[in-house]
Amino acid sequence: MAILDIRRSRELKLVQSPLHSCSSLANFPQRVSRVPSYQGTSTFGRLLKLNRDVPGGSLEGENFKWVYVRQSLTDWTTYTAGLIYMGCGGGLYASSLFLPTILAELGYKTVRAQLLSVPPYAAAALLTIVIGYIGDRTKQRGICAIVVSPLGIIGFIMLLTSNSAGVKYAATFLAAMGIYPCILNTITWVANNTFGQYRRGVTLGVAMGWANLQGVIISNVYRGADAPRFIPGHAVVTGYLALLFGGSVLHYVLLRRKNKTRRVMASDYWAVW
């Protein structure tokens, strides 16, 4: 049954990943055709109020220009964001492929197995809320990503090295808790450090599209022939999570250097005047 699930999941990922990468959203709330116009306008007004005092965050007075696309594609933050989100995407797609096999090893089937697949995701959801709160309060989302992502690496190392179904089930908690908080944290982190709505849209689009394409790879490294340990698949995902951690460190260090350069330039400017 677990092997059949893996095959079906693989086929589903092959269809989902390109579709997600090619999907598009409306530019502004009032342009969404599926909500009443007054609701869209109201939402747009709230967004304007929230973004009015944010540098580079204004939603009005900026028209699309291809130069924004070029600026985004030549900005290093686009590619470090893609590296981070690539690690998130690889781990995200993998978690649903091997968990049914672990539950089958524990002797659970059908409804009970479905129920026991919930706790790892519930723990990850709670930690996502906590990390979101801490990141908003401290404005240190880079530190949050660097601290949380090793949990996923530890979880997948446990999956690689243990034969015990109980240990592997516990490892899924760490794996989920090291991946899911980083997804939303990364989106906010990158968005807050990319100025201009169109540049921000391109940067996030490139990062998310690249992450979604990782489902094609992940669905092919988890093979039924490798059950129940899935060593090749777990090894590949461990590498993905190493990219998540390393990309977070690199992005954080480069942003700090960029901020330091801006402060030096600002102090030189005032010294001249």
What one-character-per-residue DSSP string does 124-151 give?
A: HHHHHHHHHHHHHHH--HHHHHHHHHHH
Angle between helices 76-105 and 141-161 (to 10 degrees): 40
Is residue 181 within 8 Å of 53, Cβ to Cβ? no
How does DSSP classify residue 30? G
How do the pLDDT tens digits run along the chain, 273 residues long? 444 455 555 555 555 555 555 555 555 555 555 655 555 556 556 655 655 555 555 555 567 889 999 999 999 999 999 999 999 999 989 988 899 889 999 988 888 888 999 999 999 999 999 999 999 999 999 999 999 999 999 999 999 999 999 999 999 999 999 999 999 999 999 999 988 888 999 999 999 999 999 989 998 999 888 988 899 999 999 999 999 999 999 999 999 998 888 777 665 555 444
What is the Cα–Cα distance from 87 to 82, expressed in whole angstroms? 9
What's the pTM? 0.77
Work out the number of other CB atoms within 10 angstroms of the CB of residue 57: 17
What is the Cα–Cα distance from 254 to 209, expressed in whole angstroms? 23
Is residue 163 within 8 Å of 175, Cβ to Cβ? no
Distances (CA, A) of 36 to 39, 67, 82: 5, 33, 35
Q: In the block, which residue shows the tokens 């677990």? A: 2
What is the Cα–Cα distance from 191 to 201, expressed in whole angstroms? 8
Percent of the chain as helix, strand, coil, to the nearest 5:
80, 0, 20
How does DSSP classify residue 1? -
Q: State the Rg of the chain over Cα.
A: 21
Is residue 84 within 8 Å of 247, Cβ to Cβ? yes
| Residues contacting residue 69 through CB under 8 Å, at least 6 positions apart | 198, 202
